[in-house]
Structure 1
Amino acid sequence: ASATLALCYAGMASLSLAMDRHHGQIWRRDPAPPARWLLRGCGWLLLALAAWPCLRGWGASIGAVVWAGSLCAGALAYVLMLAYHPRTAAALALPATVFAAASLAVPA
């Protein structure tokens, strides 16, 4: 569950940083078009990868519900961090991805 939450946080952060408003809030400039597409692609990929541990651990019926809850929790965590500590919120996305990848690599 923690790997799913970390992937959802990183995915929401990536999708958020692809938007002009949030990117400008953190780095004081709009993202370049290639960077915007890369952030969007990575965000959607991370959110899709977050479904895998849920489906593997709980099966299709409960895993889908856990994934949806993790999406909401990851988005809420990122939004709250973005409101109060925007640079920290963006900086935590990469360690969250590394943590999730490491925890998924360890056999259960």
Structure 2
Amino acid sequence: MNTNDLYAISMALLLTYSGMACLSLAMPRHYDQVWGRDPSAGHTRVLRGAGVLLLALALLPCVGLWGNTVGVVAWLGWLSAGALLWVGMLSWAPRPAARTAALAVAISLAGVSIGF
């Protein structure tokens, strides 16, 4: 396992974490838990779209690293890991969890754009 493999794995985890965060924050219950108010309809649509897009982008490093068949299975595993990480952070510290999800989006999109 070389450095590029570790970058691809970390990109997959960051993308699934931030994607699950967006999908979770699209729900009024969790949005209220973090921000203390209900989301507008526009926020809900944007968060859902961003969540789906981020989870789809997480497939790229997995398929690039392990190939089509194993990459999809690994992606499903990273979906579970990202969701577990998000749930743990959301229950422990809701507002910092949202900040780390925003940071994860920035880091992962920068990493994907340069080819990791």
TM-score range, shorter chain: over 0.9
Alignment length, in residue pairs?
Answer: 108
Extract structure 1 runs of 4+ deviating beyond 6 A.
none
Note the alpha carbon deviations across 1:49-105, whole angstroms, 9 max, x for none: 100111111101110111001000000000000001000111111110111122223
If the length of structure 1 is used for normalisation, what is the TM-score? 0.95
Matches within 5 A, 1:84-99: 84-99=92-107
With structure 2 as the length reference, what TM-score do the two structures score?
0.89
Aligned residue among 56, 67, 74 for 2:82:
74
**Amino acid corresponding to residue 86 of structure 1 in structure 2:** P
> What secondary structure is seen at the aligned counterpart in 1 of 2:67?
helix
| CA deviation after TM superposition for structure 1 residue 107, in Å | 4.3
SS in 2 for 1:92: helix
> For the structure 1 residues 52 and 107, does the alpha-carbon distance in structure 2 shift closer, same or farther, using more than 3 Å as the test?
closer
Say yes or no: does 1:42 pair with 2:42: no
Unaligned runs of 5+ in 2: 1-8
Identity %: 48
* Root-mean-square deviation (Å): 1.1
